[in-house]
Amino acid sequence: MAINIDGKQYDETKLDDKCKNSVVQVSALQKRLRDLSNEFDNVKVLIKHHSDYLTANLPASALTEDKANSEDKPAETTQA
Q: What is the pLDDT of residues 35-73, one digit of tens each?
A: 999 999 999 999 999 999 999 999 999 999 876 555 666
Q: What are phi and psi of 4, to 5 degrees?
A: -100, 120
Residue 3, SS3 per DSSP: strand
Domain range for 28: 1-50
Report how far residue 10's alpha carbon sits from residue 37's, in angstroms, rounded to the nearest whole number: 29
Residue 7 identity (one-letter amino acid): G
Whether the model clears a pTM of 0.85, i.e. scores above it, the answer is: no
Quick check: is 46 in a domain?
A: yes
Please tell me the total count of domains within the chain: 1
CA angle 57, 61, 67 (to 5 degrees): 105
Quick check: is 28 in a domain?
A: yes
